Each structure stands twice: as C-alpha cells, then as structure tokens.
Amino acid sequence: MEVTLRRFAAAGRRAHTLRPCATAVLSVCQSRPYSGPSRPPPNYPGHIPLNTLEKAALAIGSGLMSLRDPRRGDLIATFAEATCTPFFIYRLRDAMLSSPTGRRILRDRPRITSTSLNLPYLRSLPPNTVGHTYISWLDREGVSPDTRSQVRYIDDEECAYVMQRYRECHDFYHALTGLPVVREGEVALKAFEFANTLLPMTGLSVFAAGTMKKKERERFWGIYGPWAVRNGLRAKEVINVYWEEQLERDVDELRRELGVEPPPDLRDIRKREREERRRAKEAREAVAGAA
C-alpha cells in the first residue's frame, strides 16, 4: 500500500501519470483488499472490505481521474463508495427509512435492469408516461440500464443497497430532467443530485465544469447550475421514488409532485449552435470564394 501511495504522490506532481496510478490502486484494492490476520470476511456477495488507508488511496485516485473525465463511470462509482461513509450514505438511508415508500423499497430491494423493467413494454406506453419517457431517453442516448457497476466498497449491507439503488435510478433522473449524457448534461445532473442527496461524489463532479469549453461553462453557470441548485433543494428526496410503480403515470404529473422543473433542452441548444456555426462557416467560405 505504501508503494501505491507513493505512486499517487507522483501522480499529483505529473498529471500525465494519473491514469496508470488510478488503475494501479483499483487493481491493488480489488485483487488484494486485505493483508493481515484481522481482516473481516465480506458482508455481502461482491463486497471488498478496505481499511481506512486503502479507502483513502482509492478515493484520491478515483477522484482525480473522475474529475478529469466525468464520463468514466467506473471511477465515479468507486469514488462515490470511498467517500460516502461514515455520514452521507447513512443520511440517505435514513431519508428512505423516514418515508413509507422508501421503507418499502428497502424491504423489497428491487433492481433496475433491462429485464426487470420489460423495455419492449415501455416502448408501447403512451408518449406522456414515465415509462415511455424513460425508454425514449435510453434509446436517444444509446445507453442501457445494465451498465451500472456493482457496489463493492461500502461495508454496511443495507447502505450498499441504497448506493446501488441511487446508481440504478440515475437514468430515471436523466429522463425526468431531459439532460443528455454529454459532459455538460452530466455535470448539470450531478449538481442537481448533490443538492438533493448530498453525496460527496456528486458535489465533486460539479468541478468538472472547469474542463468544459468556454461556451459550455457560461451556459452551465448561467442556466444549468442555478437550475440544478434550485430544483435539487426544493424537490422531494428522489431516492424515495418507486420508479417501477410510476411507469404508467403521466410524467408531468410526477414532475409536479416531486417539485422538478425540466431545464431548457440542452440537446436542442447544442444543435442550434452547431447549425449556426455551420451557416457562419458557409457564409465565410462564400465570401472568400467571391473575392
């Protein structure tokens, strides 16, 4: 582990070595999570118990890399697990316990997959339903509900499920808000999730706004950042939505109930900007050709 930490110190000095170092720590923690006689056994299938030093190293490595590339879902998932204890995941679990629906979710422990949701059926639902909105978003963005990483580094078994539930509901939050999976949309949704869940990973992801292009940063701070904070704070705890029971419901009705106002269509804005750049380029080429 000392070798791993020295690698991270070097990574902080040389940005180009971040990816190998993060990969090395993930490899160490996954293949040899414990050394010594006092290590406890796993608390649930797939659980990898880590001590405090290992968890800190994992948080540093995955955090640096996910900040650099917010589309690395594996590193974001690892960072979320390494930083959500001892307080934040328990707060989210308690929010579920304080809600009748949240308690049912914890008791039933449903999973969100392509088979559990019956995606062909969702495509047959009316366009204004939650289910059709969700599957239309999946089809448009080219993503699948089967790609969410399994929780491994949270010791408490019930809290591990809470994190898994949050992770698998992420695409429903996308569908509810209409935000796409491009970096700009992911950062905006993470800001919304931070205001609503207080998970540290979602807050750190907001700093990825600094890696966006100038126009995108201006749009985030002027439109999507304020929208995320306002809606995330006033909305009900989205972790308590039993999505499997809402699929046939009117999506606008659910938005009103939760207190979530959809932001301006980001894909439409980006499309208009591309068209404007194309027309401007064609105009410049026409002028140059005439000259």
Query: Which DSSP string corresponds to 132-165?
Result: HHHHHHHHHHT--GGGPPPP-S-SSHHHHHHHHH
Q: Tell me: is residue 47 an annotated ligand-binding position.
A: no
Q: Tell me: is residue 132 an annotated ligand-binding position.
A: no
Q: Which of 80, 90, 108, 143 is nearest to 243 (CA)?
A: 108
Q: Which of 36, 40, 47, 44 is nearest to 1 (CA)?
A: 36
Q: At what angle do helices 18-31 and 2-13 cross, to 10 degrees?
A: 160
Q: Tell me: is residue 265 an annotated ligand-binding position.
A: no
Non-local (6+) Cβ contacts of 64 within 8 A are: 11, 12, 18, 22
Report d(CA 104, CA 123) in Å as an integer: 27
Non-local (6+) Cβ contacts of 277 within 8 A are: none
End-to-end, the C-alpha distance of the chain in Å comes to 67
Q: Tell me: is residue 168 an annotated ligand-binding position.
A: no
Report d(CA 56, CA 82) in Å as an integer: 7
Non-local (6+) Cβ contacts of 51 within 8 A are: 34
In the annotated binding site, the residues are: 170-171, 174, 186
In the annotated binding site for Zn(2+), the residues are: 170-171, 174, 186
